[in-house]
Structure 1
Amino acid sequence: MNEAISVVQAANVDSSAVAAKKKLSSQFFKKGITIGLLSGLTYGMFSAFLTLGMSMGVWADWYGDNTAGLSAFAIVFIVGALGSAVNDICSAVWALINVGIKGKLGDFFRTINTTPGRMIMLAALLGGPIANVSYVVGIQLAGSMAIPITALCPAIGAILGRVLYKQELNKRMMLGIVICVSASVMIGSVGIGADAADSVILGLIIAFIAALGWGFEGVIAGYGSAMVDSEVGITVRQVTSGLANLFILLPILGIFGGSIMQPFSLAGQAFTSSSAMIWFVVSGFFAFISFMWWYKGNSMTGAALGMATNGTYSFFGPLCCWLLLGVIFGMEGWELSMIEWAAATMMAIGIFVIAVNPMDLFKKKEDSANEAA
């Protein structure tokens, strides 16, 4: 009799433990989704503050009256790349401060000499000098219309994963890609209208290059980031991106622009323009937070759903730019039409469909309801 009672008690304890574990897992998953969404929001804030910084101080002279007498090439590409470099350097400093406070600075230096660390550095070269710079230049030329175009990167990543690694590309993912492309066509129909400036068209094309760069980065970084602490991995990425922009890309652009020393002269002016640097420090902070939360969200929900929640910056980016630049600072040209808002929302939905089966979320809700009952 006593043995039977013990068996029943043990069974009750086991079932309670299983229920508690499921509850903790559910809470962990929901927290991961929240963090992923915050990464998309902070990316939108980073975009807005970066653009604000590039409209202040010496940047206003370059983009406004151009008192420095810069060529069109220098204004579009060298100054645009410099904006990305300054932001990434600020972001790298925030990341180094973070790992320093948490006692992970030694891990950062050790990771650089490992294969996963080198993979992250390679991914950073694609995401930094190529994608980040294209992102900044695209925004400067096409405004917030460029942001949803860059959000094609998850769709591109899915296609590249299929081509390079034979990863699954099922009907649901293809539907999501079609939704994303349709949203891009909607944005393009507005930007490439009869009254559109040539700079807008060029900006949208360059924004697509950013999407390609981030698509390749996501495919390559997936291997390295899976074996490295997320905060350390982000530090490796941001430091690599900032230094590569400043000491590799800018001199190359300087050669094309006719003077290898011109970018360094402009960089000196940019880093000493206090009225602009204030906003670059803020944009760098939000860039660091966004990437950190993206990595953390991926580790909590899986890369697919993490990519979907982070991809909501296709909506948050235009929203933050409109609120900060248009409403608060009264700058013209940051309002979006209903078509553009609809396209940005469609892009976020398409990214979500690519990354996760929506029916799975309903199943999780049903499981939670059954556990509660």
Structure 2
Amino acid sequence: MISGLAGGFLWALDTVILSLVLAPFSMSFAAPLAATALHDAFSALWLALLATIRRRWSSVVRAIKHKDGRRVMLAALLGGPVGMAGYVMAIRFLGPGLAASISSFYPALGLAASALLFHEPVKRHQVAGMVLSLVCLVLMSGQAAGGTDFWLGILCALCSTAGWAAEGLLVQKAASLDNDIALLLRQSVSGAVFWILVLPLFGGLPVALSMAQSPWLVAAASLAGTASYLCYYLAIHRIGAARAMPLNITYCAWAVVLAWVFQGTTVSGPEAVFCAGVILGGVLSAW
């Protein structure tokens, strides 16, 4: 449980730093995709450095050949180009607080899918937690102004919700892999797909190269994100995806707090109440 909560805080820190990365590129539609590509590439470099220090490259090769390694690679496609790209685009259109809050509904979706696919028992308080999270997320969304960008941001956040829920279930099935090895495969595949396919398709290569000229914020965000994923994967393998995902969504509250501390954003009373409801619902779902 501590690993899941730590992953939530670190992901909130990642969220706020990424919003600072995106700020100078607010006019570019491809900026969120470029930031995501750099984020996952830097994360893969951090993990490759860890694998080198720990002399784990033989384990990486074995994991690539194993069926669990292929599950993680599929999870990378759903969690990266679908989940992470949708999340960063939602940050741009909605801001870090609202983007984090909406996308944090993915544990409820994961819990429902886990019950259907893996036949895990679902108790009444877990269902109540899912309903509470959903209601609070809908009410929180109503606190923001409408418009084209708003609804596009909602769509992006929902894409991240679906992608991350599917990723968590696939990672749970890849239980034979160590967390650092699984995450190295995940970030490497995700980063490669972004650079080879997504960025050229959406014209994001020039933006990514421009961001790379001042890489320190992206490197810091990816370091926080890497640590968050390691904590998250550890929680998945210890208590299961259906319980680890709700613990991880505490990032929605931390994102609002950190955005207030570092960016001076205002937090209304209803937003604070709804955010607390999302967290409470997540904890109930994991209990």
Q: C-alpha distance in 1, partners of 2:67/2:102?
A: 32
Q: Give the deviation of 1:240 after TM superposition.
A: 1.3
Give the paired residue count.
286
> Which residue number corresponds to residue 248 of structure 1?
197
Let me know the Cα RMSD of the aligned residues.
1.7
> Which residue number corresponds to residue 158 of structure 2?
208
Ranges of 4+ aligned residues in structure 1 off by more than 6 Å: none
Residues 35 and 297 in structure 1, CA contact (< 8 A), matched pair in contact too: yes
Q: Give the deviation of 1:135 after TM superposition.
A: 0.3
Q: Give the deviation of 1:209 after TM superposition.
A: 1.4
Relative distance call for 1:321 and 1:283 in structure 2 (3 A) is same
CA deviation profile, 1:69-107 (whole Å, cap 9, x unmatched): xxxxxx23x221111111111111111111211111221
- What letter is aligned with 1:341? A
- Using structure 2 for the length normalisation, give the TM-score: 0.93
Give the secondary-structure state (helix, strand or coil) at the position aligned to 2:55.
coil
Kindly indicate whether residue 222 of structure 2 is the aligned counterpart of residue 284 of structure 1.
Answer: yes
In the alignment, which of 86, 89, 113 is matched to residue 137 of structure 1? 89
In the alignment, which of 250, 255, 262 is matched to residue 312 of structure 1? 250
Residues 180 and 350 in structure 1, CA contact (< 8 A), matched pair in contact too: yes
CA deviation profile, 1:17-65 (whole Å, cap 9, x unmatched): xxxxxxxxxxxxxxxx33322111111101111111222xxxx2x32xx
Give the secondary-structure state (helix, strand or coil) at the position aligned to 1:166.
coil
Q: C-alpha distance in 1, partners of 2:211/2:274?
A: 35
Residues 85 and 246 in structure 1, CA contact (< 8 A), matched pair in contact too: yes
Residues 87 and 157 in structure 2, CA contact (< 8 A), matched pair in contact too: yes
Relative distance call for 1:213 and 1:299 in structure 2 (3 A) is closer
Q: C-alpha distance in 1, partners of 2:237/2:67?
A: 20
In the alignment, which of 110, 115, 119 is matched to residue 62 of structure 2? 110
Residues 142 and 201 in structure 1, CA contact (< 8 A), matched pair in contact too: no
Compare relative contact order (CA 8 Å, sep 6+) and give the higher one, 1 or 2. 2
- Name stretches of at least 5 consecutive residues in structure 1 with no aligned partner: 1-32, 67-74, 255-261, 327-333, 357-373
Q: Give the deviation of 1:200 after TM superposition.
A: 2.1
Q: C-alpha distance in 1, partners of 2:286/2:3?
A: 16
The residue correspondences of 1:181-192 to structure 2 (distance < 5 A) are: 181-191=134-144
The residue correspondences of 1:21-60 to structure 2 (distance < 5 A) are: 33-55=1-23, 60=24
- Name stretches of at least 5 consecutive residues in structure 2 with no aligned partner: none
Kindly indicate whether residue 282 of structure 2 is the aligned counterpart of residue 341 of structure 1.
Answer: no
Q: Give the deviation of 1:269 after TM superposition.
A: 2.2
Q: Computing the radius of gyration over CA atoms, which structure comes out larger, 1 or 2?
A: 1
Q: C-alpha distance in 1, partners of 2:128/2:281?
A: 8
> Which residue number corresponds to residue 18 of structure 1?
none
Q: C-alpha distance in 2, partners of 1:239/1:136?
A: 18
% identical aligned pairs = 24
Residues 126 and 213 in structure 1, CA contact (< 8 A), matched pair in contact too: yes
Q: Give the deviation of 1:222 after TM superposition.
A: 1.3
Give the secondary-structure state (helix, strand or coil) at the position aligned to 2:204.
helix
Q: C-alpha distance in 2, partners of 1:303/1:204?
A: 24
Kindly indicate whether residue 211 of structure 2 is the aligned counterpart of residue 270 of structure 1.
Answer: yes
Q: C-alpha distance in 1, partners of 2:21/2:32?
A: 12
Q: Give the deviation of 1:172 after TM superposition.
A: 2.1
- Using structure 1 for the length normalisation, give the TM-score: 0.73
Residues 314 and 345 in structure 1, CA contact (< 8 A), matched pair in contact too: no
Kindly indicate whether residue 256 of structure 2 is the aligned counterpart of residue 351 of structure 1.
Answer: no
Residues 84 and 136 in structure 1, CA contact (< 8 A), matched pair in contact too: yes
Q: Give the deviation of 1:109 after TM superposition.
A: 2.4
Give the secondary-structure state (helix, strand or coil) at the position aligned to 1:190.
coil
Residues 109 and 162 in structure 2, CA contact (< 8 A), matched pair in contact too: yes
Residues 44 and 321 in structure 1, CA contact (< 8 A), matched pair in contact too: no
In the alignment, which of 132, 152, 156 is matched to residue 105 of structure 2? 152
> Which residue number corresponds to residue 39 of structure 2?
87
Kindly indicate whether residue 259 of structure 2 is the aligned counterpart of residue 321 of structure 1.
Answer: yes
Q: C-alpha distance in 1, partners of 2:267/2:99?
A: 12
- What letter is aligned with 1:264? L
Q: C-alpha distance in 2, partners of 1:227/1:98?
A: 19
CA deviation profile, 1:145-200 (whole Å, cap 9, x unmatched): 11111000100111222333333333222111101111111112212xxx534322
> Which residue number corresponds to residue 222 of structure 1?
172
Residues 92 and 238 in structure 1, CA contact (< 8 A), matched pair in contact too: yes
Kindly indicate whether residue 189 of structure 2 is the aligned counterpart of residue 236 of structure 1.
Answer: no
Q: C-alpha distance in 2, partners of 1:240/1:132?
A: 13
Q: Give the deviation of 1:204 after TM superposition.
A: 2.0
Q: Give the deviation of 1:307 after TM superposition.
A: 2.7
Q: C-alpha distance in 2, partners of 1:40/1:234?
A: 17
Residues 173 and 354 in structure 1, CA contact (< 8 A), matched pair in contact too: yes
Q: C-alpha distance in 1, partners of 2:148/2:284?
A: 33
> Which residue number corresponds to residue 98 of structure 1?
50
